[in-house]
């Protein structure tokens, strides 16, 4: 029967025994490295760089899987394909990790000093980079590892300094004193985007400020932070507030500080909040800062870097902010100046990195003027030059860019890109790409570099072009830029995507990519965000060890659409493992029958119906997958492949082929089995690379002119000439018949070995179905089977059970087979379920679904509705 031994493939698929082998094979062959071909447009993805803060998590696994799907697909289409990997130095986050490690040694960064601490950071970063690279390899990421980039490498560092100087020379970078968010734990400024706002239960304190010229009269203010009153420079009221019109311009005595402060009128004051009078602390509140600018008021900063009070707080200096709050409230109460304390829930900003409550503080920092930079970045999205998927995020992007604020880019850290600014004692400020040796004004060699570093997002905002060599005009920059797709999570649309578009246009004059693909977040099976505190974190490497890489990739991507969160459970991973095993067993069966002497070209003019059916379904699947892939609906493409490979090829075509192989009937199904298995493996390869490579390597001996690896084999395309609706109708009828009889047998607990009689009333399909009489008998365990040309008009009664299918009816005798009462209930249930399905689909298609879903998905649901409506009519008789 075969010259290929059945045991060439083991009985079960063991991922651990093949994954490392094939990844090393791909690396050794250099398949991940694209060749520059000036005559062909490349496909390029730049990896969102993981932080050097530890190991990869499931979010990274999702990112890597989606990008690998795109990369492998385009590579198989024959395009020069670059997926460039990289890692981010992760300024604050990485420094926090290393400082925590030092704390366990009872040391701080100050004990080491800047130089030694930076060396410790580099040791940590290099270790993490190695770990991250190995983990990506285990995920099957087909990156060009020779091009891997770190944000602190020489190339990106040059890009950072060049960008800073260019923006500074244009007047778009400036240094000034403004309100920023300060993290007392990290001891650095953080951007608005790095602040998580949490609703907390607190209090609203109503404090009486005496008039300076009449201590018996008061203006009462309300505040959630009594300690900040020590830095008050005024009380503001709305100029239209009749309660305070006679007091504007007068002086108040600031309690506890014995300092006179004015009452000013400003339209920003909300007359409905508290008492309508607002204490003004411009050094610690952004609104108060703006009031101070308009009224030429001073700034009094009362906080040290660790949020203890400084010398400007008088006798409260040195106290923790919350301890000071409590003492101040007590003293005000003793003085009779605390009018009221109310329970009050309000939003409080926390540092995203360490969860410490952030303090708004007026500080001298470096800023980028964003409005002029945002305009072109806004236009390229509005005009469609850059497409954001899903489209609903375009509105979010536009809204943010239209209301953008200047960006604080300086951070008080020791780890990162040092700000390329030097100061001389003569007052000269030097901004330079290269490190200056002396002051250009006075030639003093004793110049000091700014101690701060740049916000991490400043360097990662340059990522698409800095990784390719900009500002140098490298071959990579000329050929691979602009890139094709930026794939990342929707949660960093502002942090990163908007800044890449802004900086890419500014530095290169070109868009950095033409498509932004935003994936959702991976949540647990209950839909809750994963966190170590909740104990619901799933480690991707642990899951790979248990289920295999392909199963993990399948579980986190199948059926998912751009921008939608994923509920992940082990059930999804088990489904992925089961699919890999199903495919493996099917391939093992086919390969077990193959011999080179038996493999002949397919004679398309003399094919049995089931061969024409599977080739038709294969072509339709190829067309549908191509449509989904082009629309970035990778989860739907994967589901389509799963349904075809498992539900049609494995469950039905192989079963029909077995009957022909066992009987030795001609033509042999082997050429068709080989073609469908080959193309199925290639279709699936971008999604499940390891199992497909393992199986294809065993299949390759029977294929002509194919390359050494499936990953560089051509991706299949649809052949419309093979689409055969008549064959599809026949085999779908056969499947429906067998499935319906199997369901009846299972429902009524008919013994597996017992044969039952059956009639098929098949109308116009009688001749075609008659060819499959023995197949239906074998698959449904029915004998004798009568296939009639009429359509059955009767209904189920005490002697027979009538199954109403799509285009035919099945009549089964009841004698001795089923419980009549149970059958009556089954019919009622089937009628109710079909009615419910029809109503649900009608409602779905009448809703916004039809305008939002891909056209092919809408068409599929419309077709289902029409079939169900026909079935419902026949069930009702």
The span from the CA of 427 to the CA of 444, in Å, is 11
**Could you tell me whether strands 453-454 and 359-368 are parallel, antiparallel, or unpaired per DSSP bridges?**
unpaired
Q: How far apart are the first and last CA of the chain?
A: 51
The span from the CA of 67 to the CA of 526, in Å, is 27
The answer to whether the beta carbons of residues 90 and 415 sit under 8 Å apart is: no
**Is the C-alpha dihedral spanning 220, 225, 227, 229 positive or negative?**
negative
% helix / strand / coil in the chain, to the nearest 5? 45, 20, 35
From start to end of 742-868, where are the E strands?
Answer: 756-761, 782-788, 800-804, 809-813
- Tell whether 806 is in a known binding site: no
**Closest-CA residue to 790 (of 812, 772, 808, 770):** 808
Q: Which residues pair with 809 in a beta bridge?
A: 761, 804
The span from the CA of 319 to the CA of 755, in Å, is 88
Q: Which residues pair with 347 in a beta bridge?
A: 199
The span from the CA of 557 to the CA of 576, in Å, is 10
**Could you tell me whether strands 513-519 and 809-813 are parallel, antiparallel, or unpaired per DSSP bridges?**
unpaired
Q: Which two tokens stand for residue 63?
A: 């990112």
The span from the CA of 393 to the CA of 668, in Å, is 53
DSSP 213-265: TEEEEEEEEEES-GGGGGG--EEEE-TT-TTTTTTTT-EEEETTTTEEEEEEE
The answer to whether the beta carbons of residues 353 and 183 sit under 8 Å apart is: yes
**Could you tell me whether strands 359-368 and 43-46 are parallel, antiparallel, or unpaired per DSSP bridges?**
unpaired
* Dihedrals phi, psi of 538, to nearest 5 degrees: -115, 120
**Could you tell me whether strands 234-237 and 259-265 are parallel, antiparallel, or unpaired per DSSP bridges?**
parallel
**Closest-CA residue to 660 (of 727, 608, 616):** 608
The span from the CA of 587 to the CA of 377, in Å, is 50
C-alpha angle 576-582-585 in degrees, rounded to nearest 5: 140
What HEC string does 475-508 produce? HHHHHHCCEEEEEEEHHHHHHHHHHHHHHHHHHH
Sorted by sequence, the CB contacts under 8 Å of residue 709 that are 6+ apart come out as 25, 26, 29, 31, 693
Q: Which residue has the tokens 């959702």?
A: 520
Bind-site residues for ATP:
532
């Amino acid at each position: 029967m075969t010259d290929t031994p059945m045991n060439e493939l083991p009985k079960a698929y063991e991922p651990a025994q093949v994954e490392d082998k094939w990844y090393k094979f791909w690396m050794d062959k250099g398949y991940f490295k694209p060749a520059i071909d000036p005559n062909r447009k490349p496909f390029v993805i730049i990896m969102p760089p993981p932080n050097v803060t530890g190991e990869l998590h499931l979010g990274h696994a999702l990112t890597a899987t989606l990008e690998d799907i795109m990369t492998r697909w385009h590579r198989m289409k024959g395009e020069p394909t670059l997926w460039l990997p990289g890692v981010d130095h992760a300024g604050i986050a990485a420094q926090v990790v290393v400082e925590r490690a030092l704390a366990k040694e009872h040391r701080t960064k100050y004990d080491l000093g800047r130089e030694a601490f930076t060396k410790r950071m580099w040791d940590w970063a290099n270790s993490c980079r190695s770990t991250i690279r190995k983990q990506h390899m285990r995920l099957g990421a087909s990156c060009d590892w020779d091009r891997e980039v770190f944000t602190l490498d020489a190339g990106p560092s040059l890009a950072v300094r060049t960008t800073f100087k260019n923006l500074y020379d244009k007047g778009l970078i400036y240094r000034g004193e403004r309100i920023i968010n300060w993290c007392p734990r990290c001891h650095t400024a953080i951007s608005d985007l790095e602040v998580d706002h949490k609703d907390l239960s607190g209090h609203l304190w109503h404090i009486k400020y005496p008039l300076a010229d009449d201590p018996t009269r008061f203006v009462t203010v309300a505040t959630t932070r009594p300690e900040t009153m020590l830095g008050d420079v005024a009380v503001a009221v709305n100029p239209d507030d009749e309660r305070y019109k006679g007091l504007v311009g007068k002086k108040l005595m600031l309690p506890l500080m014995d300092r006179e402060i004015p009452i000013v009128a400003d339209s920003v004051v909300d007359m409905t909040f508290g008492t309508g009078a607002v204490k003004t602390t411009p050094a610690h509140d952004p609104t108060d800062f703006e009031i101070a600018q308009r009224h030429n008021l001073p700034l009094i900063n009362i906080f040290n870097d660790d949020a203890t009070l400084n010398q400007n707080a008088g006798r409260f200096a040195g106290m923790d902010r919350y301890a000071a709050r409590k003492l101040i409230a007590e003293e005000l109460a003793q003085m009779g100046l605390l009018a009221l304390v109310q329970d009050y829930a309000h939003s409080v900003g926390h540092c995203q990195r360490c969860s410490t409550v952030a303090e708004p503080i007026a500080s001298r920092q470096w800023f980028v003027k964003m409005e002029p930079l945002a305009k072109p970045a806004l236009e390229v999205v509005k005009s469609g030059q850059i497409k954001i998927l899903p489209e609903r995020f375009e509105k979010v992007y536009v809204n943010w860019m239209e209301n953008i604020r200047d960006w604080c880019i300086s951070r008080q850290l020791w780890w990162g890109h040092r700000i390329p600014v030097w100061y001389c004692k003569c007052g000269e400020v030097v901004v330079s790409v290269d490190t200056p040796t002396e002051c250009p004004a006075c030639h003093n060699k004793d110049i000091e570099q700014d101690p701060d570093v740049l916000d991490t997002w400043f360097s990662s905002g340059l990522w698409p072009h800095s990784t390719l060599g900009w500002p140098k005009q490298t071959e990579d920059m000329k050929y691979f830029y602009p890139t094709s797709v930026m794939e990342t999570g929707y949660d960093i649309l502002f942090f990163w995507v908007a800044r890449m578009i802004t900086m890419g246009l500014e530095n290169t004059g070109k868009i950095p990519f033409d498509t932004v693909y935003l994936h959702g977040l991976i949540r647990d099976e209950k839909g809750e965000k994963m966190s170590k505190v909740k104990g619901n974190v799933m480690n991707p490497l642990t899951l790979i060890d248990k289920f295999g890489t392909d199963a993990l990739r399948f579980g986190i991507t199948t059926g998912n659409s751009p921008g939608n969160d994923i509920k992940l459970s082990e059930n999804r991973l088990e489904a992925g493992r089961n699919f890999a095993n199903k495919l493996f067993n099917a391939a093992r069966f086919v390969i077990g029958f193959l011999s080179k002497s038996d493999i002949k070209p397919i004679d398309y003019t003399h094919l049995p119906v089931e061969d024409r059916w599977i080739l038709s379904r294969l072509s339709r699947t190829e067309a549908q997958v191509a449509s989904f892939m082009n629309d970035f609906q990778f989860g739907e493409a994967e589901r389509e492949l799963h349904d075809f490979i498992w539900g049609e090829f494995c469950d039905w075509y192989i079963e029909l082929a077995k009957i022909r192989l066992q009987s030795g009937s001609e033509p042999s199904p082997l050429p068709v089995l080989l073609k469908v298995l080959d193309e199925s493996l290639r279709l699936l390869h971008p999604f499940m690379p390891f199992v497909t490579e393992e199986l294809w390597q065993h299949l390759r001996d029977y294929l002509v002119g194919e390359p050494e690896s499936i990953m560089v084999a051509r991706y299949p395309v649809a052949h419309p000439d093979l689409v055969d609706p008549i064959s599809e109708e026949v085999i779908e009828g056969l499947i429906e018949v067998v499935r319906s009889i199997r369901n009846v047998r299972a429902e009524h607990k008919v013994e597996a070995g017992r044969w039952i009689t059956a009639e098929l009333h098949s109308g116009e399909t009688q001749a075609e179905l008659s060819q499959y009489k023995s197949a239906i008998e074998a698959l449904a365990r029915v004998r004798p089977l009568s296939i009639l040309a009429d359509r059955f008009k009767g209904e189920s009664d005490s002697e027979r059970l009538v199954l109403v299918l799509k285009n035919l009816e099945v009549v089964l005798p009841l004698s001795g087979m089923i419980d009549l009462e149970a059958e009556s209930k089954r019919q009622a249930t089937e009628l109710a379920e079909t009615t419910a399905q029809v109503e649900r689909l009608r409602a779905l298609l009448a809703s916004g679904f039809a305008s939002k879903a891909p056209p092919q998905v809408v068409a599929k649901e419309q077709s289902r509705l029409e079939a169900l409506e026909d079935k419902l009519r026949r069930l009702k008789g």
